[in-house]
């Protein structure tokens, strides 16, 4: 019952946040940073307690596919609230809040075999923390890349849509995208390094798929950054490379979990 109350509270707060952002995007209300931060923080607190109740289990953390998803969505919202204090990222809340709400619903409805990590296994936990942070940053980068892609397309067509009117200038959007990509690359490199140190075999049968796709996505992101500073890649090109790298990373993470946990019903 406690879990259900937390989930409903979290969904209610995210719904309020989504509605306010949608109304603000349409120009019907003015939302200050303080209001956005307050609602988002309340939702994060409820979301965080829900994570504590559903992920923690007798001296270990259950990091199955749905538990990992609800954790990643929490971190996405947390990072976005921090960025919103200094950067024009309010449009991204329209993606982040519904995504977070969806993971909360999934953890209530669906179940998968548990995959435990001991609470005292600090090496593995540091690898997981870095990986989750990288996934969260790249998720924000993917959302930013989508907005930048559509903004570019509509500006080239001289279409003065509501999207164009509400988004910051292209240069600001591109700058923010590459800041997210840089931060994600740093976290992903650290995650791979800690994985090599603390995971017994990164290319073991259960991990080969995830490791391979993570390395390929890293190559894509590094290629994007090199192209940015040597060939001036921007706009639609930058968006496509970012989305390709994020897709590879998500296939590596969720693809392996879907196969192992939902198809073969394997825990660990």
Q: What is the pLDDT of residues 50-96, one digit of tens each?
A: 999 888 877 788 888 888 899 999 999 999 999 999 998 888 999 99
Q: Single out the residue of 129, 263, 267, 256 nearest to residue 203, CA to CA.
A: 256
Domain positions in the chain: 1-118, 121-268
pLDDT of residue 204: 60
CB 264 within 8 A of CB 255: no
Tens digits of residue pLDDT in 182-230 = 999 999 999 999 988 887 766 665 667 788 889 999 999 999 999 999 9
Per-residue confidence band for 261, with pLDDT thresholds at 50, 70 and 90: low
Q: Single out the residue of 148, 149, 170, 151 nearest to residue 161, CA to CA.
A: 151
Per the structure block, which two tokens stand in for 8?
Answer: 């409903």
Q: Write down the architecture of domain 1-118 according to CATH.
A: Up-down Bundle (1.20)
pLDDT of residue 201: 64
116 three-state secondary structure: strand
CB burial string 54-81: b at 16+ within 10 A, e below: bbeeeebbbbbbbbbbbbbbbbbbbbbb
pTM over 0.85: yes
């Amino acid at each position: 019952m406690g879990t259900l109350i937390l989930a409903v509270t979290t969904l209610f707060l995210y719904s309020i946040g989504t509605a306010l952002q949608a109304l603000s995007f349409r120009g019907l209300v003015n939302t200050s940073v303080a209001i956005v931060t307050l609602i988002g923080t309340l939702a994060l607190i409820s979301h965080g307690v829900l994570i504590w109740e559903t992920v923690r289990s007798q001296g270990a953390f259950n990091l199955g596919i749905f538990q990992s998803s609800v954790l990643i969505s929490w971190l996405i919202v947390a990072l976005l609230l921090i960025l919103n204090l200094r950067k024009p990222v309010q449009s991204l809340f329209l993606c982040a809040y519904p995504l977070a709400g969806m993971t909360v619903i999934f953890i209530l409805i669906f179940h998968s075999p548990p995959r435990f990590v001991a609470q005292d296994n600090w090496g593995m936990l540091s690898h997981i923390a870095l990986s989750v942070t990288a996934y969260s940053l790249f998720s924000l980068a993917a959302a930013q890349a989508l907005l930048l892609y559509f903004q570019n397309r509509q500006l080239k067509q001289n279409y003065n849509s509501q999207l164009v009117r509400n988004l910051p200038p292209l240069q600001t959007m591109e700058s923010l995208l590459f800041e997210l990509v840089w931060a994600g690359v740093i976290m992903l490199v650290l995650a791979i390094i800690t994985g090599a140190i603390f995971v017994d075999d990164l290319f073991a049968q259960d991990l080969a798929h995830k490791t391979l796709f993570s390395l390929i996505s890293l190559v894509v992101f590094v290629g994007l950054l090199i192209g940015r500073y040597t060939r001036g890649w921007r706009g639609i090109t930058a968006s496509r490379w970012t989305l390709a790298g994020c897709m590879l990373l998500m296939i590596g993470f969720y693809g392996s979990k879907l196969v192992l946990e939902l198809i073969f019903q394997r825990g660990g």
